[in-house]
Amino acid sequence: MGKYDVINQALEGLKEQGLYNIIRRIDSAVGPWTVVDGKRVLNMCSNNYLGFANHERLKRAALRAVEEYGVGPAAVRSIAGTMSLHEELEKKLAAFKGTEDAVSFQSGFCANLAAIPAVAGKEAAIFTDQLNHASIIDGCRLTKAERVIFPHRDTEALKASLEEHKDKKVKLVITDGVFSMDGDLAPLPELVEAAEAHDALVLVDDAHGEGVLGSHGRGIVDHFELHGRVDMEVGTLSKAFGVVGGYVAGKREIVEYLRQQGRPFLFSSATTPADMAACIAAVEVLEQSDELVRALWDNTRYFKGEMAGLGFDTGASETPITPVMLGEAQLAWDFSKRLFEQGVFAQAIAYPTVPRGRARIRVMLSAGHSKQDLDYALEAFGKVGRELGVR
């Protein structure tokens, strides 16, 4: 037995089960049209909701920051890595979200890994939706708290579990705001009410609500007008914001505690000046105008309506995430491959990311798509759908 045998067998296993990821390569800036594996294609699967990934104002801000502050802080936040740009972004984010304070991290993933273990110690119980994101699952795994997984969007089940654990000193309810594979929303008003009745903390992961829901894209808490009633909003700066990074916005003492105890804040180096400056510019663009958010929703309504007209099942999404339900994984992969040949980049998503038999193409709409772009995509979907006998 060689020491790599187990890994080699696991790789073979992934290939045999059809779970081996074929990774496409991006050869240009990410925009509505993107060069992928050397071919210019219509990009229908980046999380670039507002076109910020290649936005002029963000790029200029990043370039200026490099000139002034260099390329990296070369330290963790708590030792020598906190630059004025980090503080400025955090102030701007808190004001934008309408929270008392905010702290930024290297990614949304890191924000969950920071927040959940810091808040939920041994004496805590965590209540987490069955379909929550992997970073929430991993954040929970890093705690010694008791974990209760409640059925997807099931507030009654949550209430029963909260009642059952009412003696726990700390109770933490966690949900995705927008569920990333289906595009459905958490029933946040009901969840918050249940949590309040049991004195539980609430963390909502707004990765796909940021820049999408609420006034000017302020997110799901704004959408449901729950300001002040959600203790922690986890956000990402790498989806609608188009850059990289994450944050927790919420109650002053929680944010203060995360600056003291959030492990990615203490033990992993700070994000770069270019990242922070671009994110500051993104918040400013959103504060000044909701034009891009409105364009995103116009595109979403148009595309979903036309897809339904073509006979496609686009699931239960309430957001620009548009799952085109196909069923078997092989069909979804064939579909994606044929779309690519037609000049449309839209990736298939299958088990284990979604349940078996629920494979799909997940289309991500963007404010950057023009009406002609969407018509181009619709034509390709129609053509490939006919060829493969879908609908």
Ligand X SMILES: *Cc1c(COP(=O)(O)O)cnc(C)c1O
Catalytic residues: 180, 208, 239
Single out the residue of 55, 86, 208, 362 in contact with ligand X (rule: CB under 6 A).
208
Alpha carbon distance 81, 269 (integer Å): 7
Rg of the chain over Cα atoms, rounded to whole angstroms, equals 21
Within 13 Å and on the Cβ side, how many CA atoms surround 203? 33
Q: Select from 149-157, 201-209, 247-255, 268-276 the region that touches ligand X (CB under 6 A).
A: 201-209
Nearer to ligand X by Cβ, of 176 and 373: the residue is 176
Single out the residue of 43, 99, 161, 236 in contact with ligand X (rule: CB under 6 A).
236
Smallest gap, in angstroms, from Cβ of residue 43 to ligand X? 17
Single out the residue of 45, 124, 207, 276 in contact with ligand X (rule: CB under 6 A).
207
Q: Enumerate residues 99-138 that contact ligand X by CB under 6 A.
A: 107-109, 133, 135
Smallest gap, in angstroms, from Cβ of residue 291 to ligand X? 25
Single out the residue of 46, 82, 175, 180 in contact with ligand X (rule: CB under 6 A).
180
- Count of beta carbons in the 10 Å neighbourhood of residue 243: 24
Smallest gap, in angstroms, from Cβ of residue 109 to ligand X? 4
Single out the residue of 32, 246, 250, 262 in contact with ligand X (rule: CB under 6 A).
246
- Count of beta carbons in the 10 Å neighbourhood of residue 190: 16
> 330-369 mask for ligand X (x: CB under 6 A)?
----------------------------------------
Q: Which residue has the tokens 């081996």?
A: 20
Q: Does 46 bind ligand X (CB under 6 A)?
A: no
Nearer to ligand X by Cβ, of 150 and 340: the residue is 150
Alpha carbon distance 150, 159 (integer Å): 10
Report the relative pairing of strands 359-364 and 348-349 from DSSP bridges. antiparallel
Residue nearest to ligand X (CB): 108
Single out the residue of 101, 184, 205, 373 in contact with ligand X (rule: CB under 6 A).
205
Q: Does 176 bind ligand X (CB under 6 A)?
A: yes
Q: Select from 117-125, 202-210, 251-259, 359-367 the region that touches ligand X (CB under 6 A).
A: 202-210
Which element (helix H / strand E) includes 54?
Answer: none
Asked whether 131 and 176 are in contact (CB, 8 A), the reply is yes
Single out the residue of 46, 238, 271, 272 in contact with ligand X (rule: CB under 6 A).
238
Smallest gap, in angstroms, from Cβ of residue 314 to ligand X? 19
Q: Closest Cα partner for 341 from 66, 39, 8, 22?
A: 39
Alpha carbon distance 289, 63 (integer Å): 23
Nearer to ligand X by Cβ, of 248 and 374: the residue is 248
In the chain the beta strands, taken as DSSP E runs, fall at: 33-36, 39-43, 101-105, 124-129, 146-150, 170-176, 201-205, 232-236, 246-250, 321-327, 344-345, 348-349, 359-364
Indicate the residue type of 111. A
Asked whether 86 and 183 are in contact (CB, 8 A), the reply is no
Total of residues contacting ligand X (CB under 6 A):
13
Nearer to ligand X by Cβ, of 155 and 238: the residue is 238
Alpha carbon distance 107, 82 (integer Å): 16
Smallest gap, in angstroms, from Cβ of residue 366 to ligand X? 16
Interface residues with ligand X (CB under 6 A) are 107-109, 133, 135, 176, 180, 205, 207-208, 236, 238, 246
